[in-house]
Amino acid sequence: MTRAKAICDRVYAVGGPELSASEDAYVYLVDAGSELVLIDSGVGYGTERIEDNIRSLGFEPAQIWHIIATHCHIDHIGGLSAFKERYSSKVIAHTMDRAGIEGENNDLTAASMYGADYKPVKVDTLLNGELEQFMLGDLLFNFLHTPGHTPGSISVYIDTDDGRILFGQDIHGPFSPLWGSDLAMWRQSMQKLLALQADVLCEGHSGVYKGEKIKKYIESYLKRY
């Protein structure tokens, strides 16, 4: 497997199929100065490799004060329990995906698709609005509610020296009534992402897109669905 890699100013890929475990969605690390912020946590099989990747960048996993769960599927949240237990990291997620993350409805995690067991965790900060903002370290994180893939899917963006960085996990779907997917809401969410005019897109399974390729990528799925 390859090692962690820099994406742009303050942003690194530390987990994913070729970085940590084949089942993992991409896991992104943000250097927020006084703390590190993790975007998702993988399915749980590759936690130690994610930790090693973080150390290879000159950071320590103990610096991860917050983990943002973009939605409640196990390939994004399976590693949450390990990070919370080892480093007391705080989880941020949308209230509409809380039942999956906290273990009230395991079907929402899609764990059966991965043959994995999910260990529930408590969400420390629940998002409720259309757009919420928090200072984490020295960066302003913008949390945009983008339902469709799941009811509580969120997309996150920050502004750095390299422009607007968008973490838009699972733009491509898939969709299932078991998770409460809604294609009409998803289409509206994709329009919200296009309106952000991001300079860099860090996607959950397809990797990184920059410039005009972001618009083309999102629009390709709007045409498909």
Q: What is the pLDDT of residues 53-83, one digit of tens each?
A: 999 999 999 999 999 999 999 999 999 999 9
Q: What burial class does residue 117 get, using C-beta atoms within 10 Å of its C-beta: 0-12 exposed, 13-18 middle, 19+ buried?
A: exposed
pLDDT digits (tens, 9 = 90+) for 78-100: 999 999 999 999 999 999 999 99
Total of domains in the chain:
1
pLDDT tens sequence across 162-207? 999 999 989 999 999 989 999 999 999 999 999 999 999 999 999 9
User: In this structure, what DSSP letter does residue 89 have?
Assistant: P
Give the pLDDT score at 1. Answer: 75
Interhelix angle for 183-196 vs 212-224, to 10°? 170
Give the pLDDT confidence of 96-147 residue by residue, as tens digits.
Answer: 999 999 999 999 999 888 888 899 999 999 999 999 999 999 999 999 999 9
Give the residue-averaged pLDDT of 201-221. Answer: 97
CA 218 to chain centre: 17
Domain, as residue range, for 72: 5-224
Determine the pLDDT at residue 113. 81
Question: Given this model, what pLDDT does residue 2 score?
Answer: 77
**What are the pLDDT digits (tens) for 31-52?**
999 999 999 999 999 999 999 9
pTM across the whole model: 0.97
CATH code, domain with 174: 3.60.15.10
